[in-house]
Chains A and B, each alone.
Chain A
Amino acid sequence: MTKKLKFLVGESLKRKIKTKWFVAANILILIVILCLFNIDGIIKFFGGDFNDNQIIYVNDKSNMTYETLKLQNKNYTKLLDDDEEVFELKKTDKSSEEIFKDEDNKDAWYLTINSDENNTINAELISDGYINSYDFAQISGIINSAKQSVALSLSDVDPVELAKISESVDIERVILDENKKGEEEGTQMIMSTVFPFVILPFFILSLFLVQMVGAEVNDEKTTRGMEIIISSVSPKVHFFSKVIASNLFVLIQGALLVAFVVLGLVSRMLLGGTSITDIPASAGVDISGMVNSILSSDVINELVYIIPLVIILMLVTFLAYSLLAGVLASMTTNIEDFQQLQTPIMIISLIGYYLAIMAGVFEGSLFIKILAFFPFISAILAPSLLVLGQIGVFEFIVAILIMVIVVFLLIKYGLKIYKVGILNYSSKNLWKKMFKALRG
């Protein structure tokens, strides 16, 4: 029987992996990951308006603001290039009509700065088109900062004093409770590490897992091939073959995802010539932020046991998902019915996903903490709370144990349903049959 189990596992895995769709899907995933890691380079390669600085013609009628304005402008740099300023300032005495007459200045802005008795200076910003709120906030910031500097210099403040006033305050952060410090940094870490590198792949893989088991069981059931299979191997062997194969598939797919990420990082080094941690947050993967937040928090010392614990919880949850999917698939008579049953399972995971996001906002929420022990939700929520420091290792182990109990119950009772379900081709009195199977 072990030989047959091995054969069924191998066949099941082969049916999933030795397909052109598996290869195609993974090539696509690899391309997406490579693109994500090099997104800034790709955007720059294709070029566009973002490459051109926004030209602002400045008519400084106050005769004292332009230089200060230029100095302040240096503080505002581009998202994709820290060395380049967002705005290019050009001093002019021409009127706005004269400037905009020139077709080349169609996209330029025209800034007039006047002296103002009450408010030191006032400004008028003219543009042909709409200025988006982000750009407007930046230019407003530059003008306001310039105004403060001008006002201080007009107050006959000693230049040394003026420099001191203008300099930003050096604030030393001292957090008495070291755990609190970890929590604060952890919120950032959750957003930058746990989501893209743990929760999202887990969610995708669990979706693959559930669909794989469901599709295979339904395929064998609807073609009545199940009767031939079950007349040769026991439902138990068949059930476990699906569970083992699907979990192996998820591990292989997970390993491939990790390999793709590594390839993404290497490609960034080779193609972009920049550090692997120098990936902009706008690309959705803020590696430098992630590394910094990990290094600056106490979590680095705890990762030694956090990572194995998270992996254990996720593996146990994968196992539970595959068992549940197998049981549900056996009850249904076609793939459409299974897809309907599968929806609530995935919604449970989504709840965990959103609760994990909210955990950083509703710090210390008892409700969220309790749900971190809830089967299936725990795989997403508990790692987030552990990293945030809202639950400890003991609580995390309890969440794992609860999941192990769920796996045990799914094997014990799920197998009874599976035995009856796989040979049931009618949805009539379905629940009655299943409850009877549970009792039997």
Chain B
Amino acid sequence: MLKVDNITKYYDNFLAVDNLSFKVSPGEIFGLLGVNGAGKTTTFRMIIGLLEPTSGTVTLNGKKIDYSVTDNIGFLTEERSLLTKFTVKEQAIYYGTLKGMNKEDILKRLDELLEKFGITEYKDKKIKELSKGNQQKIQFIVSILNKPKLLILDEPFSGLDPFNVELFKKQITQMAEEGSMIIFSSHRMEHVELFCKKLLILKNGKDVLSGNLADIKEEYRKKNIMIKGDIDIEKIKKIPGVINVESKGLEYEVKIDNMDIAKDVFKVVSKCANITKFSVEEPSLNEIFIAKVGETYD
């Protein structure tokens, strides 16, 4: 288990991470969210041992993270971290060996992953000759070569088309099923919602929201009602507790302050004609994020 225990990081007088705590168990995919500058990168760097926390501790299976355990960690950075003059094979051998693997195992695992991602023909190509999407695939592949027990993915879907996003998702889910601990950061809230059962939202280095996604959504009082039919928008807007009514294609989205308001809205809507849909839905993670952080993620 990864245990981040009350870590704080100061850069001179600037507080980058403030008393942050969370746990990630084997098989769990944990979402770490926050706008740019919220402290995500600093947190990742402290987890993999690149930075020493000003206070607090990070442990992996009870051991402080140092170079004796880093061979069990995989890290995919938000920016490209590939040495572009290398070929894919050279790059894999370079990073794989630094993770304590031998050449034979690296090449075997590389072949397996290249096959999985459908890019076997790039094995001897230089990284700089590859497209942005294929570079991202290689970056992902080299980060999981060592079958890490802890995998940190910072914006893993950057530059990928929907088909390749699916390939990545499949691989990440498989690794979680095999017992890896995965920390995941993405600008795409739908990915976070899809993957992560637990998440933490950072704002100015502070934990502003954390816990199980289902609980967070449950606790979040505001709900949305999706309605299809000829409704009287002005009448609905006048109902106390209705925040907004917005047209979304053929449907209307009614934002309400809490679940109790849904009954009042239903009373009004039931008198309207041609109603084919009335559905009370959970708010999206994006909405929760905006509400908590005060700005959009991207």
Interface residues in chain A, defined as those with a beta carbon under 8 Å from any beta carbon in chain B? 1, 4, 7-8, 11, 15, 219-220, 223-234, 423, 436
CA distance A219 to B12 in the complex (A): 28
Partner of A223 from B12, B81, B97, B99 at Cβ < 8 Å: B81
B75 contacts A233, CB within 8 Å? no
A224 contacts B50, CB within 8 Å? no
Note all chain B residues with C-beta closer than 8 A to A227. Answer: 45, 50, 75, 77, 81
CA distance A224 to B97 in the complex (A): 18
CA distance A229 to B12 in the complex (A): 26
Note all chain B residues with C-beta closer than 8 A to A230. Answer: 50
Partner of B83 from A8, A225, A233, A234 at Cβ < 8 Å: A225
CA distance A296 to B168 in the complex (A): 77
CA distance A219 to B81 in the complex (A): 10
Partner of A229 from B73, B85, B98 at Cβ < 8 Å: B98
B97 contacts A423, CB within 8 Å? no
CA distance A227 to B82 in the complex (A): 10
Note all chain A residues with C-beta closer than 8 A to B83. Answer: 219-220, 223, 225
How far does the Cβ of A283 sit from chain B's closest Cβ, in whole Å? Answer: 39
**Please, which residue of chain A has its CB at the minimum distance from the CB of B139?**
A228
B17 touches A (CB below 8 Å): no
Given A4-B97, A227-B75, A232-B71, 10 new contacts (CB under 8 A): A4-B100, A8-B98, A11-B94, A224-B77, A225-B83, A228-B81, A232-B70, A233-B67, A234-B67, A423-B45
A231 contacts B97, CB within 8 Å? no
CA distance A423 to B82 in the complex (A): 15
How far does the Cβ of B152 sit from chain A's closest Cβ, in whole Å? Answer: 9
**Please, which residue of chain B has its CB at the minimum distance from the CB of A19?**
B85
How far does the Cβ of B211 sit from chain A's closest Cβ, in whole Å? Answer: 28
CA distance A7 to B93 in the complex (A): 10
Chain B positions 89-107 with a Cβ under 8 Å from a chain A Cβ: 94-95, 97-100
B159 touches A (CB below 8 Å): no
CA distance A233 to B51 in the complex (A): 13
B75 contacts A223, CB within 8 Å? no
CA distance A409 to B16 in the complex (A): 32
Note all chain A residues with C-beta closer than 8 A to B85. Answer: 15, 219
Note all chain A residues with C-beta closer than 8 A to B82. Answer: 223, 225
How far does the Cβ of B167 sit from chain A's closest Cβ, in whole Å? Answer: 22
A228 contacts B75, CB within 8 Å? yes
B48 touches A (CB below 8 Å): yes
Q: Contacts A1-B67, A227-B50, A227-B75; is A232 near B99 (CB within 8 Å)?
A: yes
CA distance A228 to B83 in the complex (A): 11
Note all chain B residues with C-beta closer than 8 A to A224. Answer: 77, 79-81
A231 contacts B75, CB within 8 Å? yes
Note all chain A residues with C-beta closer than 8 A to B81. Answer: 223-228
Q: How many residues of B contact A (CB 8 A)?
A: 27
Going nearest first, the 9 A-B pairs with the smallest beta carbon separation are A232-B98, A224-B81, A231-B48, A224-B79, A225-B83, A225-B81, A228-B81, A7-B97, A224-B77
Note all chain A residues with C-beta closer than 8 A to B80. Answer: 223-224
B36 touches A (CB below 8 Å): no
How far does the Cβ of B40 sit from chain A's closest Cβ, in whole Å? Answer: 14
Note all chain A residues with C-beta closer than 8 A to B75. Answer: 227-228, 231
B84 touches A (CB below 8 Å): yes
Q: Contacts A7-B98, A224-B77, A423-B45; is A231 near B84 (CB within 8 Å)?
A: no
Partner of B50 from A15, A219, A231, A436 at Cβ < 8 Å: A231
CA distance A225 to B98 in the complex (A): 12
**Please, which residue of chain A has its CB at the minimum distance from the CB of B68?**
A1
CA distance A234 to B67 in the complex (A): 7
Note all chain B residues with C-beta closer than 8 A to A15. Answer: 85
B49 touches A (CB below 8 Å): yes
B84 contacts A223, CB within 8 Å? yes
Note all chain A residues with C-beta closer than 8 A to B142. Answer: 228
Note all chain B residues with C-beta closer than 8 A to A7. Answer: 97-98
Note all chain A residues with C-beta closer than 8 A to B12. Answer: 436
How far does the Cβ of A245 sit from chain B's closest Cβ, in whole Å? Answer: 14
CA distance A227 to B139 in the complex (A): 13
A228 contacts B97, CB within 8 Å? no
What are 30 A-B pairs at a CB distance below 8 A?
Answer: A1-B67, A4-B97, A4-B100, A8-B98, A11-B94, A15-B85, A220-B83, A223-B80, A224-B80, A224-B81, A225-B83, A226-B81, A227-B45, A227-B50, A227-B81, A228-B81, A228-B98, A229-B95, A229-B98, A230-B50, A231-B48, A231-B49, A231-B70, A231-B73, A232-B67, A232-B70, A232-B71, A232-B99, A423-B45, A423-B51
Note all chain B residues with C-beta closer than 8 A to A436. Answer: 12
CA distance A408 to B50 in the complex (A): 25
Note all chain A residues with C-beta closer than 8 A to B143. Answer: 228
CA distance A423 to B45 in the complex (A): 10
**Please, which residue of chain A has its CB at the minimum distance from the CB of B81?**
A224
CA distance A229 to B45 in the complex (A): 13
Interface string of B41-61 (1 = CB under 8 A from A): 000010011110000000000
Note all chain A residues with C-beta closer than 8 A to B51. Answer: 423
How far does the Cβ of A45 sit from chain B's closest Cβ, in whole Å? Answer: 42
**Please, which residue of chain A has its CB at the minimum distance from the CB of B48?**
A231
**Please, which residue of chain B has its CB at the minimum distance from the CB of A231?**
B48
Note all chain A residues with C-beta closer than 8 A to B94. Answer: 11
Note all chain B residues with C-beta closer than 8 A to A228. Answer: 75, 77, 81, 95, 98, 142-143
**Please, which residue of chain B has its CB at the minimum distance from the CB of A8?**
B98
The residue in A15, A219, A228 that gathers the most chain B C-beta atoms within 10 A of its C-beta is: A228
Note all chain A residues with C-beta closer than 8 A to B99. Answer: 232
Note all chain A residues with C-beta closer than 8 A to B67. Answer: 1, 232-234
**Please, which residue of chain B has its CB at the minimum distance from the CB of A233?**
B98
CA distance A426 to B85 in the complex (A): 24
**Please, which residue of chain A has its CB at the minimum distance from the CB of B78?**
A224
Note all chain A residues with C-beta closer than 8 A to B71. Answer: 232
How far does the Cβ of A31 sit from chain B's closest Cβ, in whole Å? Answer: 27
**Please, which residue of chain A has its CB at the minimum distance from the CB of B99?**
A232
CA distance A225 to B81 in the complex (A): 4
Note all chain A residues with C-beta closer than 8 A to B95. Answer: 228-229, 232
